[in-house]
Chain A
Amino acid sequence: MYDVVIIGAGVTGTACARELSRYQAKICVLEKEEDLCCGTSKANSAIVHAGYDAREGSLKAKLNVRGNEMMEQLAQELDFPFKRNGSLVICLHEEDFPRLKILYERGIKNGVKDLRILDREQVKEMEPNISDQAYAALYAPTAGIVCPFGMNIAFGENAAVNGVEFYFNTEVKGIRRREEGWELSTSRGSFRGKWIVNGAGVYADRFHNMVSREKIHITARRGEYCLLDHSAGKHVSHTIFALPGKYGKGILAAPTVHGNLLLGPTAIDTEDKEGTCTTREGLDQVLEKAGMNVKNLPMRQVITSFAGLRAHEDGDDFMIGEPEDAPGFLDCAGIESPGLTAAPAIGEMAAGILKEKMGLKEKTDFISTRKGILDPKTLEKEAYRKLIKEQPAYGNIICRCEKITEGEILDAIHRPLGARSLDGIKRRTRAGMGRCQSGFCAPRTMEILARGLKVDMSEITKSGGRSRIIEGINKDSL
């Protein structure tokens, strides 16, 4: 019997797991995919929002601002990439200026610090590639960018080091109330827990509705993105938003913490909770609309496109708490934007609720810090030389586009909750994420994975399940 069973190893589930791992409790995380960070958490804008978007008084507003405040220290403690690059909301037309003012005022009410409205000249000075039509902009210096995989994986690893058990490829099929706590039937047997934390992203309504008569409904809102090569990474230095409309914050252009340029997302509602396909119309829309606020976008530098699903709940706010008729079940549902920003605060809030309700006691041996995968490029030359002497794998470049060494890939495999697939390696190290999109390194990374996991090359997958890379050996069917 677990004290807490968390459903979902995305950023919400792992943030809760990490915060709960401060306490004396037996905790596990159940994840239907093969790795951390496989759903909404891996395919989003990678933005740390300042907090002027959400309606004042909403949980979204509160946790956004709180999450933003927490990010700096957390990024240091858990060693994931985060940068406060500031954001600009571009107002193209004078007649829309009142709407920009509304955002500004809302931001002030939400407690966002240092907000300023800039005129065209000030904007152009800050960002020369902003459209010449720009009339004004809302500048939020507290906005930032983060590596979404880095944060999610850091939470997961740190939770695991602090005793949280992770079960991957474990899909929850049903939840039944027991005399004490809950029983969860899964694709890999049944689990018992006194409490359940529902961090299931686009599936959170399914689990909520298994235990509560107060039904909720989550729409998967697809967002499509294009990622541009490093050579375009300096096209803008701030995150550039359009003035928001009904379906979210419009198409943004943002540098990433790794020096790429990200354009997106669209917003298309779908009932298919696995519908992460991109579409012609969607990608065309991204390229067209990103170009409205930012000029001369080097579209030839697109290296990949992808889509993620936001978990939009009908009530349009985060739902964090126990349903009245299901005590012992803690929803963290409806976590769409600014969910990534808010994740640390969601973890804090969820753990706070459980601490009080369960009377949890703090551990004395909680390990609050975690070291990420060493990027040898950040070392001084002498330190780098010494490292290669001790561990020659750091002298062997595998991914030539991102200059990722065998040493980093081995680290990704052998650390807690290590990578088991090419995508797992990619999210942890960036090997395969560059301009050739793993064309050169995939066969070599597969070899290292096969060696590290002690399996045959034919067992290596892109992302678990049936996503094997190799179908057989030459002439095996002849």
Chain B
Amino acid sequence: MENYEIVVIGGGPAGLAAAIAAKQNGMEKVLILERDRELGGILNQCIHNGFGLHTFKEELTGPEYAERFIHLAQQAGVEYRLNTMVMDISPDKKITALNRAEGLLEIQAEAVILAMGCRERSRGALNIPGYRPAGIFSAGTAQRLVNMEGYLPGREVVILGSGDIGLIMARRMTLEGANVKVVAELMPYSGGLKRNIVQCLDDFDIPLKLSHTVIDIKGKERVEGVTLAQVDEKGRPVPGTEEEYSCDTLLLSVGLIPENELSREMGVELNPVTSGPQVNESLETSVDGVFACGNVLHVHDLVDFVSEEAEAAGRHAADYIRKKRKDQTEVKRTEALSEIEQVPLLTGAGVRYTVPSFIRPEQMEDSLKVRFRVGKVYRNCYVNVYFNEEQIIHKKRPYAAPGEMEELTLKKEQLTEFPGLKKITISMEEA
């Protein structure tokens, strides 16, 4: 059995930033377990630019952004194991992992940071009817084949879903010589960033069909074509709007799902909206000493925000260990979560979820960034924050959309000085 202060599950952008922050906050032994061949996670296949504008104030590619963090991690003395799959984490933070060289590993951690990222929703999850030929790829799988291995998965391409990976892949496939015929989006708005629609579709004259979906896939061996149809407001295909597209490839960019199988198995409570853990202001899950950050917590649009959130998780995990040690030396045991007052953060009109879901005012740092997503597109709207029934924040926003994460800042003294604070609600209001 090996012992570490903090074990970080996953060496993508979240895991790297969390591990670095843990080291910078005084931890000696921090270990990243990474299942892939290298650190950096999905950034390694994101060879386009646009990363790092917030973090480094310059435009980097995905691998460049990863490289900076890998370098920082190495400098900080973060340990890591590659090609290592975590098989199980027990609630008392004993980790069982597997790799070729060492076989089955058992590691005891004082705190665990979950940073496993997310996976792409598959065709099956959408229940798209038709045949099941070769040539149907999730956009990320195609991105890996093209960008990391140099293979072109298809020549005549239809893309379903206008999430960022789908948009990026529309451009990439075009640049590599494929003909991207159309991007169809079920919703009346795109789930991707505005800048990606402009730079990846408009600049290449690739049509984006909103409120459209794939209703049939043809071809028994390899995709031969798909049928698109317009959908009504409930997402049902409208008869008579069918259009046939001949193609050899269908790319799916239809949503990302946090990968929380390990979390669920260890008893971490999940939020049904995000599919990520329920966390408090310290990004700690319902299991004592287990923290979460990045796309395993909720799916982000920008890696810069992943890094920022993960840094907080690393800092909080280090604090947790320090406090626990102090409590032990003073021979008094705080009954951490159960006894400290928690204020729930609730979703009001137009808000789908918030991270965190609970705040312990006494445990807050001076300020706390709350991240949330809205349920539809708003133009000229207000973000409202209520403490109990009293409106505390009423802030104008020119634009808000489900594809772009929102954030607001709460100050510690606002909460601690509010008498009888029982709940905080965030809601949207049309102007």
Interface residues of A (CB under 8 A from B): 226-227, 231, 274, 276-280, 282-283, 300, 302-306, 381, 384-385, 388-389, 392-393, 395-397, 400-401, 403, 435-440, 442-443, 457-458, 461-463, 465-478
Contact = CB atoms under 8 A, between A and B. Distances in A.
B153 A469 contact: yes
Nearest to B248: A471
A400 B119 CA distance: 11
Contact of A443 (B100, B125, B145): B145
B248 A395 contact: no
24 contacts: A227-B124, A277-B216, A278-B129, A279-B129, A280-B129, A280-B215, A303-B124, A304-B123, A304-B124, A388-B100, A396-B99, A396-B100, A400-B35, A400-B85, A437-B124, A440-B141, A463-B134, A470-B151, A472-B151, A472-B155, A474-B151, A477-B177, A478-B176, A478-B177
B98 interface: yes
B154 interface: yes
Contacts of B134: 461-463, 467-469
Given A470-B153, A472-B155, A473-B152, A439 B99 contact: no
Contacts of B166: none
A303 B138 CA distance: 13
Interface residues of B, number: 51
Nearest to B149: A443
Interface string B164-189: 00000000000011000000000000
A383 to B, nearest CB: 10
A283 B127 CA distance: 7
B87 A403 contact: yes
A197 to B, nearest CB: 27
A400 to B, nearest CB: 6
Contacts of A283: 127, 129
B101 interface: yes
Contacts of B221: 462-463, 465-467
Given A304-B124, A384-B104, A458 B151 contact: yes
B61 interface: no
B153 A397 contact: no
A438 B217 CA distance: 18
Nearest to B106: A381
B103 interface: yes
B119 A457 contact: no
B127 A443 contact: no
Interface of B: 35, 83, 85, 87, 98-104, 119-120, 122-125, 127, 129-135, 138, 140-141, 144-146, 149-155, 176-177, 215-217, 220-222, 237, 248-249, 261, 264
Given A462-B134, A467-B221, A474-B176, A436 B119 contact: yes
Contact of B103 (A276, A385, A397, A478): A385
Contact of A462 (B125, B133, B249): B133
B119 A440 contact: yes
A457 B132 CA distance: 21
B152 A392 contact: no
Given A274-B220, A280-B215, A381-B104, A436 B127 contact: no
Contacts of B217: 277
Contact of B141 (A381, A400, A439, A461): A439
Given A395-B98, A457-B151, A388 B104 contact: yes
B125 A303 contact: yes
A380 B343 CA distance: 45
Closest 3 A-B residue pairs measured CB to CB? A304-B124, A462-B134, A437-B122
B181 to A, nearest CB: 15
A381 B94 CA distance: 15
Nearest to A284: B127
A470 B152 contact: yes
B129 A395 contact: no
